[in-house]
Structure 1
Amino acid sequence: MAIEAWFMDESNEDQRLPHHRHPKEFVSLDHLAELGVLYWHLNPDNYENDEELRKIREARGYNYMDLLDLCPEKVANYEEKLKNFYTEHIHADEEIRYCLEGSGYFDVRDKNDRWIRIGLKPGDLIVLPAGIYHRFTLDTSNYVKLMRLFVGEPVWTAYNRPQENHPARKQYVKGVAEKFSVAVEAH
């Protein structure tokens, strides 16, 4: 089962709603790949012993992992944190998230600066390239359990837009212009 992604409407309604355009405009995995977004579908019930996850981590150098439960009952200042996650930003490194339980949305900007919403459900592992403008929110379930993966020590530094002169952003824009030469593996 492949991940679903779509172009977002311009509504200012609750960020946790799907925000489909009318009519709905879905985005393909190939389009996400052109933006440098990678995707795998794995078995979230077997994440501790998943051979495919081990191979991905080894091949991509993801040697650090932690788990994060996001919900009002487990996160202090939940609404404030959710607001911070939803502020448009980039990172100097990839952002790797594997959904184990619950659901949420990653929004990324395309080449024309339009928002694409990516629905994250159990089993979805996505990699956002360094330098891509993005944001995150939960959906109306208000719960997600994520595995966060990193190369080396974890870095959570967010650089809020605008960041056109940040080295990661410059490299990303150059990569998109050259059309990322990465393959999307959908399962």
Structure 2
Amino acid sequence: MVEVYYHDNKDTVDNFTEPHDSGRPVSLEDLSKIGVFYKHITTKEELDALANERHYKNRDEVNLNLAAFNNDMNAYNAKMQQFYKEHYHEDEEIRYIVEGEGYFDVRNTGDEWIRAKLVPNDLLILPAGIYHRFTLTDALKSVRAVRLFKDQPKWEAINRDSGRESEARLSYAKTVAV
């Protein structure tokens, strides 16, 4: 079962790949209240069925590890810092973990970080407009994931510190307003 909990907010530039478990668990029901959906998928057929059901037409695979950056530690660290910077996208973000593991952090309606540790066979769907970030785990520092897309991939990350709020962000905020 996927591990989901409130982040302890004690991360630094040197330790953001550590668990940072506050000891306060979060239920999958609570995740769904902010539009985040988790599913355990064990076969390609299940993944294909979900893609068909949600109208995902495209997919690719991403490998994140030091070897993917030709063992260039500076390039690897720069990419990890980029993924960990708080941002949102104008499209859903769908990740299915094939190998390795990583953490997705999402903001709840109280602006608290919720951390989900994903391992093989975990699939997470983040709604368009939700603030989030990603990092590999300290233990493995590697992940291979399938990314699903409704259309052609859009990769613009809109960083929170930019102050920019697109229609996707405004629409998301309305759906979770209390």
The answer to whether structure 1 residue 152 and structure 2 residue 146 are counterparts is no
1:185 corresponds in structure 2 to none
The one-letter amino acid of 2:130's match is I
The answer to whether structure 1 residue 20 and structure 2 residue 21 are counterparts is yes
In the TM superposition, residue 75 of structure 1 has moved relative to its aligned partner by: 2.5
SS of aligned partner of 1:125: strand
Distance 1:68 1:17 in 2: 22
Q: Scaled by the length of structure 1, what TM-score is found?
A: 0.87
Distance 1:4 1:103 in 2: 12
Matches within 5 A, 1:58-77: 58-75=52-69, 77=75
Distance 2:164 2:90 in 1: 12
CA RMSD, 1 decimal: 1.3
SS of aligned partner of 2:51: helix
The answer to whether structure 1 residue 126 and structure 2 residue 90 are counterparts is no
1:168 corresponds in structure 2 to 168
Which structure shows the higher helix fraction? 2
Aligned residues: 170
CA deviation profile, 1:112-168 (whole Å, cap 9, x unmatched): 100000101000011000000000000011100010110111111100004463211
1:54 corresponds in structure 2 to 48
In the TM superposition, residue 12 of structure 1 has moved relative to its aligned partner by: 2.7
Distance 2:156 2:165 in 1: 16
Distance 1:160 1:86 in 2: 10
Distance 1:40 1:80 in 2: 30
**Are the aligned partners of 2:11 and 2:20 in contact in 1 as well (CA < 8 Å)?**
no
Distance 2:124 2:53 in 1: 15
For structure 1, list consecutive stretches of 5 or more residues without a partner in the other structure: 179-187
Distance 1:71 1:20 in 2: 23
Selected match of 1:87 from 80, 85, 88:
85
Distance 1:5 1:39 in 2: 10
SS of aligned partner of 1:25: strand
Percent sequence identity over aligned pairs? 44
For structure 2, list consecutive stretches of 5 or more residues without a partner in the other structure: none
Distance 1:129 1:153 in 2: 17
**Are the aligned partners of 2:158 and 2:164 in contact in 1 as well (CA < 8 Å)?**
no
Distance 2:160 2:144 in 1: 27
Divergent runs of 4+, >6 A: none
**Are the aligned partners of 1:164 and 1:170 in contact in 2 as well (CA < 8 Å)?**
no
Which structure shows the higher strand fraction? 2
